[in-house]
Chains A and B, each alone.
Chain A
Amino acid sequence: MSAAILVDVTKCTGCERCVDACVEENGLDPVQAQKDRATTEDGLSDNRLLSILQVEDGRFARMSCMHCVEPSCVSACLVGGITKTPEGPVVYDPDKCIGCRYCMLACPFHVPRYEWDETVPFMKKCAMCFQRLNDGLEPACVEACPNDALHFGERDDLLRKAHDLIASNRGSYVDRVWGEHEFGGTSVLYISDVDLASLGWPAPDTEAIPSLTEPLIEKTPFIGLSVAGGLLGLNWIIQRRRRLGAEAVAAQDEGAGGATGPAASEAVPEGEDEGEEAKLAERSSP
């Protein structure tokens, strides 16, 4: 099963009761949440994990973690502190976090927030009320919505519902379910009568971010080993050339009946480079 939330932008009036419920559910400070609402760009902070953004005049949308199907943050976290649960939510484990903040850089929606004011800080983001889900409840925001703008359910069911709504209210919705395909799909879906690009939605065919890095990083061990192997091979070739070259010089010296002794056999002059060594090697071949 994979839980998801469907946001109907046409029904949201921007009352922010979902935000209040979120603040309460997550044990955040309501006064600080109000302060952050006034002082942050998009209303999200380490004390306000959910925000209502005005998309257009009279159009509001819920903004929080999108719970991507293939999350960039999960792929980026070096200690595996963020996981996409089989139940749907993307959850963060504060016990693993080292505070590198790569998840914040990696998130295409700018969602993760940091407790900058703490001496021992952690990352904060919506967890789709994972605990409530386990208890068989809806997320707090969905439960609090008085306008039926938030729907909770299976992602597949919600997608079907969204398409049904668009089909049965022809003309009153844009024919697009935001979150169906973008970045490989998200678990927070939007239907709307206005464009939602301002929430950070890209073109529908934008691929999942892990697909940009994971094929590359899978090759890492092979690259490392092949570099090491290549180096050893190169070293062997050059060693051999040098040896052959030295033997040739020694042979020439002996042939000329000139200077003898072990010093002559080591007479590879300093500053020799590969090209000259190659020539020496060629000379020695017959």
Chain B
Amino acid sequence: MSGRTRGIKDVLWALALAGLVAGAFRLWFGLGATTNLTDAVPWGLWKILNMVAGVAISTSGFTVGFLVYVLKMERFKPLMKPAILVAFLGYGCSCLALLFDIGLPHRFWHPFVMWNEHSFLFEVFWCVILYFTVTSIELAPLVFDKLKAEKVSRFLHRIAFGAVIVGISLSSLHHSSLGSLFLVTPQRLHPLWYTPLLPLLFIISAMGAGMMFLVLLKILYARWYDPVSIFGPRDERRRLVLILTGKGKEAEEMGPARGRDLPMVVGLASIATGILGVYLLLQIFNLFYHGAWQALDVASWETWLFAFELFIAAVLPLALVWSPRTRYSPRALGIAAFSASAGLALNRLDVGIFGYFHDAAQIYFPSLAEWALSVGVVAAAGLAFFFFVENFPVFDDDWFERRRISRMVEASFDSLSRVWRTALKSGLERASLIGVVVVPLAWILMYPPYGEPDPPEVRPAAGMNVTRTQLRIDGNQAGVQTEFPHEDHKERLGGEESCVTCHHMALPEDETTPCFRCHTHLVDSTMIFDHEEHEAFVAEEEGFGGPYPENHTCAVCHTQGVTKTAETAKSCMDCHQEDTDWDQEVEEDPTVDLARAVSYMEAMHENCMGCHQDEAVKQDRPELRDCSTCHSSLTPRDHPVRALADQQVRGGSTSMAGGG
């Protein structure tokens, strides 16, 4: 019996362990390094999928409680314990994921003592925490029954009804409030999803889809542990094939293949799809009520997503459950339940993520670590689910008896398989084996520092023509550029003699080393002194035959007996003055660190602005001082607009000012 779920559990272990690695990276390296969240998309997968959708899918705890305890629909009583388990695990794993999502997890308790009762998030926090407590109380009898703590158990059973009432009240609040969270973004959320009815839509869809999720779990449980209860004794697959191939009559002759629990499950699915039907009508009503139909546009992907979401969330489940042909088919029921659950998740992703893309003007796709943690937390909940159903009577009370028999049968198999089984018998052993494979793999794939982008490089001032009479200075390559009449400046300043005015330092045996050669970073200063190369060069010049013999090379620049630092070393210009052919001596400012090149931008500004400011006074042309002289985009209104190429580049209405 455990063989059916062993493969699934192995996968869940692998996913959960990968999630663990992702969680560790998140805590160690921070949100920016591990997620693809940005200032434009502050809420991502963890909050929307795990929290908003995860809580919404776990509604069966209160809906089935309502049916059984308040409406006294006793026939759904067998689903009560599974429903509570779903609620407990759903809320538990949502809270866990949220702990990783918030920037300061160690302050998760702040909302307990710091209140803002105007915030829907505050309400959601309190309701979720209180409801999680309620589900724990509701689930506790299961554990205490097994522990044979009868007094506790009796007490818990006595307060069960009260717990259900409190649970439903809390649920009615926070499931709608999860929708209200998005009411604060009327300008940002896409009109197809933004509506004042969000709270109502959220709670109704959560109620319907939550029950459908329970249906799905019941069917899966039956498949794995108790097939007769749902699938019945007959060959259901053959029946479905007959129906799908158009041989409906033969299928009817086979008669309905019903397990003993199937009518109950269909009953719940009928109620659930009834609620989803109301949800569908409400969505359609909302299109007109809020005027969102104006946003329906065949050309926008949002419209198709919206339609697809409604189709899988409501239309398909309704059709499958209410069509007489598929109503009692467990397979179709399973598809309907899966579709409704996926539809709910998609709706929450739409409202919380996809609906903001048009506003953020960028696409958010979760990083690998985000996926890993998101899925890993759910996988952990899945493992907990298996633990509960295999060790406590959740779905059916005679589970232990059946497992005892099946173990006896298993034990009677040949010794070879027993060896295999004992080797990998304990779940923990298997899990640690999986861990040995998965953890290093996840580590390698998700290690955050690998993903860091390279710093922007400075591009040389490109010649606009072969003779370099006109240069285009575009250090940041962002299209914000400055055109520099190189030849014009050279002539005006006195021909070849004037090169040194701007080319203040040159590489040995060079006269006009271009700016970008040293000023390599757009906004950051960089180290340009190559110590190793200097050593080698000095050794060769002085005939030492190698860089280090008896520290002779050091003595060329560093004073002996003093700590060797850049400050105590010989001035650069002591050697480099001879190296250049400059007639004019470069003034040496002791405060300037020649080994460090200032940023490209600073270099350009300092190089140009000194002369420009002097000339502005000398020639009485104040406009020479203006930013607009070089940066056409900074043209003040009173100055003649210079028609420059970069106007074409910056077509947009709002863009960064200035140049590079």
The A-B contact count (CB < 8 A) is 241
Complex contacts, B72 vs chain A, CB 8 Å: 238-239, 242, 272, 274, 277
- With the chains together, A223 CA to B23 CA distance in Å? 38
B121–A78 contact, CB under 8 A?
yes
> Do A78 and B125 touch (CB < 8 A)?
yes
Q: Tell me if B147 counts as interface (CB < 8 A to partner A).
A: no
Is A234 part of the contact surface with B, judged by Cβ < 8 Å? yes
Counting CB contacts under 8 A, is A101 at the interface?
A: yes
Bound form: Cα–Cα A235–B633 in Å: 73
Partner of B170, one of A34, A55, A224: A224
Chain A 1-58 interface residues, beta-carbon cutoff 8 Å to B: 10, 13-16, 31, 34-35, 37-45, 52-58
Q: A38-B478, A38-B660, A60-B657 are in contact. Are A223 and B172 (CB under 8 A)?
A: yes
B173:A223 contact, CB within 8 angstroms: yes
Chain A 237-255 interface 0/1 with B at a Cβ cutoff of 8 Å (1 = within): 0110010000000000000
Q: Does B536 belong to the interface (CB within 8 Å)?
A: no
**Residue A99 contacts which of B28, B102, B173 (CB distance < 8 angstroms)?**
B102
**What residues of A have a CB within 8 angstroms of the CB of B66 in the complex?**
231
The yes or no answer to A202 lying at the interface (CB within 8 A) is: yes
Chain B contact residues (Cβ within 8 angstroms of A): what range? 35 or more
Q: A209-B186, A227-B172, A231-B165 are in contact. Are A122 and B103 (CB under 8 A)?
A: yes
Tell me which residues from 50 to 88 in chain A have a Cβ below 8 Å from any Cβ of chain B: 52-58, 60, 72, 74-81
Q: Is A217's beta carbon under 8 Å from chain B? A: yes
Known: A34-B601, A41-B40, A217-B123. A117 touches B180 (CB 8 A): no
Chain A contacts for B173, CB-based, 8 A: 220, 223-224, 227
Instruction: Given A113-B39, A212-B184, decide whether A232 and B165 contact each other with a Cβ distance below 8 A.
Output: yes
**Nearest chain B CB to A45 CB, angstrom units:** 7
Known: A101-B103, A228-B165. A75 touches B118 (CB 8 A): yes
Q: Using Cβ atoms and an 8 Å threshold, which residues of chain A touch B634?
A: 13-15
Among B75, B650, B656, B660, contact of A43 (Cβ-Cβ < 8 Å): B656
Flag the segment in B107-115, B134-142, B546-554, B584-592 that touches A: B107-115
> Contact at B114–A79, with CB atoms within 8 Å?
yes
How does the 8 Å CB contact mask read for A247-285 relative to B, with 1 for contact and 0 for none?
000000000000000000000001111100100000000
Q: Let me know if A97 is at the binding interface, CB within 8 A.
A: yes
Whose C-beta in chain B lies nearest to the C-beta of A81? B114
| A79 in contact with B110 (CB, 8 Å) | yes
B residues less than 8 Å from A104 (CB atoms) = 39, 42
Q: Is A98 an interface residue (CB 8 A)?
A: yes
Which residue of A has the minimal Cβ distance to B170? A224
**Are B103 and A99 neighbours in the complex by a CB distance under 8 Å?**
yes
Considering the chains assembled together, what is the distance between the CA atoms of A55 and B637 in angstroms? 14
Contact A110 B70 (CB under 8 A): no
Q: Nearest chain B CB to A41's CB is how many angstroms away?
A: 7
List residues of chain A with CB within 8 A of the CB of B522. Answer: 34-35, 38
Q: Could you list 29 examples of A-B contacts with CB < 8 Å?
A: A10-B637, A13-B627, A14-B634, A16-B657, A34-B523, A35-B522, A37-B656, A38-B522, A53-B655, A54-B650, A54-B654, A57-B647, A72-B184, A76-B121, A79-B110, A97-B107, A98-B103, A98-B108, A98-B110, A99-B105, A117-B30, A198-B653, A216-B180, A217-B117, A231-B66, A231-B169, A235-B165, A239-B72, A272-B72
The 7 closest A-B pairs by CB, nearest first: A99-B103, A116-B32, A34-B523, A80-B116, A104-B42, A78-B122, A79-B114
Q: Which residues of A contact B (CB under 8 A)?
A: 10, 13-16, 31, 34-35, 37-45, 52-58, 60, 72, 74-81, 96-102, 104-106, 108, 110, 112-122, 198-200, 202, 206, 209-210, 212-214, 216-217, 220, 223-225, 227-228, 231-232, 234-235, 238-239, 242, 270-274, 277
